[in-house]
Structure 1
């Protein structure tokens, strides 16, 4: 008997769901889009049958996708895009609706891997609800109310809160570039992170948070200066133009010279100077949907050059020309670099 035939529809209002279960359900929906084999379906069925909450989460996610497909069926492509954009705007006004729309959109428009990236850990769910967020391979420029220019790199999420006393950004994940504008009212500009606050002094700088909370956050200053204020009360340190530093809630590393091309991602480029191949691939993978890996046998090869972030396959072809490697494609979204 096919296990999937044993499942019965559940009431849509059968109660709240654990965010971790929602993340698992999203993972299964995404996995079946690129691994629709009998074994994968059977494993998914086993997960659904293991707990009523699993099945409810599965049905809710698929219900959202079906609703979205039904609402856009028969519409011209530009009209669909307009409808989805209007829905996205509405979702920003309602955080609960925002989660539903992003899940429905991510799982039904061919960018489900982006949903997998954001949902694979319940800690990242706030990213779906942030005021500004980007998906895999996406960059976005935002001009804030005071004229400050904010650029979000791939897979980034930021909340924005301006009031009478301060201008405040909260970085949840990813990387941002900030070019601050002077404020007539003299309000301080603050970047909040899990490790502490950053106070720029008429500056252009980037903040990068890619790992778990215990890992350092990197600040790079291209113009002006930035004060780093650790969360646990350590001394504030001023970082000047041309330098970068990693910091945690307790410590600030000594400043280092800013690496060449550190802001190239704003222009859609990845600049490498004798960068180990495994680090290069890890950076490229952030901008490319799917799974991109480097075999340990070639991880130590060095890469130098400037590469377009928006064309990952072209970058892999370039590496094949200059290094003794080849790109093995199991699928378009599952690639491993191995020794040639």
Structure 2
């Protein structure tokens, strides 16, 4: 008969104790005695279950985080670009390094993996560069050149064609131009449009089109469009030069951007942390150093309970 196992020495803080149990149970080495001790710990205090459920919820919601017990059986989605670079030959290698790929008659979807950038020339001569962990689809017709950005960020240099506007749709917005160079960036529930050259028009909801000229930017979201700004273009283009620049953005938006480059999934343990603000510039070629640079300015620390997951919590 198996002997009952005493509960291990655990930290007094329920959050730290929950993390210790999480690591043990996710290790794949936990046995029946471990699980009985775990359930006994849960029953001791409602705070124990609350903190463990919070941590397990973070893990369960992150379908792109690799489960160590399944890592050898299936490649996780966040690593898909590695396989793509190996299989796709010279074109895929160029894409993974931010090189150009010419695709004529290309009507379908384009996606990038973590840390990958891809530049594509469309059959009308327009050039788009897709940022890391982003996705879009293209559908050209006789009367319109349409791109739908479903996530992430893209830079567009449109070929002039006055009779066939170039239209980018993203969330509830529609950006149209005849000839312009601009960035569209979707992060959480907000979208930013930043125009380098030419002029675009932004339509959201039932409002008349709002012009955005060279050197200007405008954001929009569920509450409608924000004010027109004579700044933001350099910030929104920094990723094309190997950096992410933040000007007082909330931490949840900062982490959402960094997650497109970091090999692990970064999450915030406590909801109030999302509202912390960060100012600074980080090197996206070194994503872990970038994360550390952000954390050095805030009273935060990281926990890495299992491979592929980084938890940010208050000190």
| Short-chain TM bin | 0.5 to 0.7
TM-score, normalization by structure 1: 0.55
CA distance in 1, matches of 2:181, 2:220: 18
Alignment partner of 2:210 out of 204, 218, 237: 237
Unaligned runs of 5+ in 2: 1-24, 36-71, 76-82, 93-106
CA contact (8 A) 2:160 2:178 kept: no
* Residue in structure 1 matched with residue 261 of structure 2 by the alignment: 287
Q: Which has the higher helix share?
A: 1
Residue 168 of structure 2 is aligned with which of 177, 191, 215?
191
**Mapped contact 1:196–1:249 kept (Cα < 8 A):** no
Q: Deviations over 1:116-148 (max 9, x none)?
A: xxxxxxxxxxxxx95211122222111222222
Q: In the TM superposition, what are the counterparts of 1:119-130 in structure 2 within 5 Å?
A: none
Distance 2:160 2:170 in 1: 22
- Equivalence for 2:179: 202
Judged with a 3 Å threshold, the aligned counterparts in structure 2 of structure 1 residues 39 and 199 are, in CA distance, closer, same or farther, namely farther
Aligned to 1:234, the other structure's residue is in SS state coil
- Asked if 2 retains the 8 angstrom alpha-carbon contact of 1:149 and 1:178, the reply is yes
TM-score relative to the length of structure 2: 0.59
SS at match of 1:289: coil
Higher relative contact order (CA 8 A, sep 6+): 2
Question: Does 2:220 correspond to 1:247?
Answer: yes
- Aligned residues: CA RMSD: 3.9
Unaligned runs of 5+ in 1: 1-33, 43-64, 69-79, 90-128
Counterparts of 1:228 and 1:299, CA distance in 2: 28
Aligned length: 229
User: Who is 1:177 aligned against?
Assistant: 155
CA contact (8 A) 2:130 2:153 kept: yes
User: What's 2:293 paired with?
Assistant: 318
Counterparts of residues 101-180 of structure 1 (less than 5 Å): 131-180=109-158
Q: Residue 37 of structure 1 corresponds to which residue in structure 2?
A: 28
Contact 2:187 2:256 in 1 (8 A): no
The alignment status of 1:268 with 2:242, answered yes or no, reads yes
Report if the CA contact (8 A) 1:130-1:157 is conserved: no
